[in-house]
Structure 1
């Protein structure tokens, strides 16, 4: 073990977990009993261990150096998650670095990753929007952190890297490719060889070989349309991306044919048209070809909050009671000075809700 690595491990000694305990918790990394996931980084297992916050069931990521996850990515993940803490970022509880083993221990995301649930009936429209809002808040925190923290560009935003806890709260994960940059710059342009994941990667990367915070915004836009349409943004064939549907979605948006492609099921309440417009509009802006035309994540959070508020209002008891009196209130509104401005029935009901109309 070289001096740098030894010094690093001493700095985070409070997070170290013995390999013997991890092996025992995973039944010696038993694929049949304890494995809960696998990816390009290696395998993920579940097990109960003692860690920096007590003792609990955790997710144990065993990195595989042959798949591109080496010491730099391992150390970066520890550093990032130790310094950047937010309710919508996955929590690092510990790690192990013994011999050739590089293992990261996280809080257990009970429902796994978002990509597994994209077409699930468990995800109502309210839950879908809440998941997107949670992830947006986490990414907004990375792009514009508090205090002395530098801006963090994730570089690999995708539905597989958005984890869901037992309450369906979303948390960003997998920071091995992330890059830090000055938080006071309008655009943090970083030259890098890390290109993210095909299907989600900013198309500007192919031309400029740079990634910026706006690249994360593009990738997040892809996640938004996956959630909106109930399917992943690509199809695989023989381990390669065969088809991407982002261009088709953009064309449907421009032709105002979103109702033809959004996620539908007779057992789920249809998405309100006003909320759909807010959701689709911000997704489209995230996917703009020019980085300068994409919104920042603060704007994305605001728009998603607006869409979620509409759905929560529709589900409220107050809305059911007021809806019966809607005609009466609309007649009164016609004589208002200054005139009331609202785009739809739901928009009007939101005004009434804010004013506390009886």
Structure 2
């Protein structure tokens, strides 16, 4: 392979690796995969000592020279914060070993069910992976587009700061980056459950195949479990179809990891679940581009962070006091749930006052017209007696629609209750006053 000479600067000696891994001791073993076993060790080189990961090829698992050199070629050209970095390689005798930066926290699949991994942390990981895939699909300059072909939680590594990094490019395919679409017909590889059904059935590969696989990972992060089940050592069930149905039937509560829902800002969950669902659409043309996925996940993270910042600013004791006035009584299990109820708003004062909180942490109230306006007569007006073009507006009101007639002053005041958006601070004032045609001079 004449082309390998351009990578000579990355070569290191086998003896250096043997020394760092204590001759591939089980004490240094940190993982296994389709390529082979992975060891950690401190590598001593002229430029200094550094902790790294060594991935040792085991040909009995089905991979070999092609996957080895593909990994080197890809990772030496594609550098990104959310792609694992290849540092060196060794090719001596029968040994073929890849040397990577050490992701000290291991792979994402080990943390899916960890209740200590917060929703915000999960969102940040998703954003990172999406950015990494976006870099592969739409690289800058003259680089070719890379289709990973095996995106899964096991191939997403986490460093000390929980930064997510896409790894394992041995099965990747490349194609022209200057075209809107890249379609390839190839032998089917990948992992059941994550693999694009169209690719799995027909061998028809595109960048939307990676989008499907990433959508499965998004659902795994939401549900806190892998996308498949094993029975007696054999694959027995793939959960993706059920996850799709739960979204379509608005039954996400049945599959979200227990304890995670209480942390979520509702808008963040809605944004996240909607883009995850679109990713795993069976029809390839209905799946979003990875750039759109990045934008949606960043928005979901922004919504969550705004909510968490709000939670830090509010006086919880005051909110609990307000909640005790609710009509009917409120039911909530955490301070976050109470905050969400206040963002939506609820009635107090025998149903005459609507109270809510805005995103600045300010408590706002809207008072029924019944409490604000007095006159010779005050009647509740049924929407059926209102002009058709105004019924829809009245139907959105939480309070009854009141008409206050002050006949002694020869004018008529109509009051239509208004409600505050949780994102906007408003003041309640007179809604409208007009001359009654019948009372005009």
Same fold, judged at TM 0.5 (above): yes
- Where 1:57 maps in the other structure, the secondary structure is strand
Contact kept, 8 Å, 2:188 with 2:200, in 1: the verdict is: no
Deviation at 1:238, TM superposition (A): 4.3
| Cα displacement (A) at 1:208 | 2.1
Alignment partner of 2:90 out of 92, 96, 104:
96
Q: 171, 177, 185: which one pairs with 2:171?
A: 177
Counterpart position of 1:243:
237
Give the match for residue 13 of structure 2. Answer: 18
Correspondence 1:29 to 2:66: no
Counterpart residue number, 1:340? none
Alpha-carbon offset, residue 51 of structure 1: 5.6
1:214 positional shift: 0.2
Cα distance change on mapping 1:310 and 1:200 into 2, 3 Å: same
2:201 and 2:112 map into 1 onto residues whose CA distance is 31
Instruction: Name the structure 2 match of 1:68.
Output: 62
Task: Give the paired residue count.
Answer: 330
Give the drift of 1:151.
0.6
For residues 116-265 of structure 1, the aligned pairs below 5 Å read: 116-265=110-259
**180-189 or 292-301, which moves further after superposition?**
180-189
Name whichever of 176-185 and 76-85 sits farther off.
176-185
Answer whether contact 1:51 1:93 (CA < 8 A) is retained. no
1:160: Cα distance to partner? 0.3
Residue 286 of structure 1 pairs with residue 279 of structure 2: yes
Deviations 1:114-166 (A, max 9, x none): 00100012310000010011000000010000011111000000000000000
CA contact (8 A) 2:10 2:89 kept: yes
Per-residue deviation, 1:287: 0.6
Q: 1:273 aligns with which of 263, 266, 269?
A: 266
Following TM superposition, by how much is the alpha carbon of 1:50 offset from its aligned partner in structure 2, in angstroms?
Answer: 3.6
Where relative contact order (Cα < 8 A, 6+ residues apart) is larger, the structure is 1
Measured after TM superposition, the shift of residue 317 of structure 1 is 5.3
Change (3 A) 1:175 1:285: same
RMSD of equivalent CA atoms: 2.3
TM-score (norm 2): 0.71
TM-score by length of 1: 0.87
Q: In structure 1, what is the Cα distance between the partners aligned to 2:158 and 2:39? A: 16
For residue 256 of structure 1, report the CA deviation from its aligned partner. Answer: 0.4
Residue aligning to 2:387: none
Deviation (angstroms), 1:36: 0.4
Sort the Cα spacing of 1:236 and 1:318 in 2 relative to 1 into closer, same or farther, 3 A: closer
- Is residue 319 of structure 2 the alignment partner of residue 305 of structure 1? no
C-alpha offsets along residues 19-50 of structure 1, whole Å, 9 cap, x if unaligned?
0010011010011x100001221100000114
SS of the residue 1:264 aligns to: coil
Question: Per-residue CA shift, 1:181-200, capped at 9, x if unaligned?
Answer: 01122221111114211110
Q: Which segments of 5 or more consecutive residues in structure 2 lack a partner in the other structure?
A: 315-358, 369-418, 426-441
Could you list the per-position Cα deviations for residues 261-300 of structure 1 after superposition, in whole angstroms to 9, with x for gaps in the alignment? 101228x842222111101000010011111110010000
What is the CA distance between 1:348 and its match in structure 2?
4.4
- Asked if 2 retains the 8 angstrom alpha-carbon contact of 1:50 and 1:56, the reply is yes
Equivalent in the alignment of 1:356: none
Higher CA-based Rg: 2
Return closer, same or farther for 1:326/1:291 CA change in 2, 3 Å cut-off.
farther
Structure 1: gaps spanning 5 or more residues = 332-344, 353-358
Partner of 1:334: none
- Displacement, 1:52? 9.2
Q: Secondary structure at the match of 2:17?
A: helix
Are the aligned partners of 1:224 and 1:283 in contact in 2 as well (CA < 8 Å)? yes
Structure 1 residues 167 and 234: alpha-carbon distance in aligned structure 2, compared to 1, 3 A threshold: same
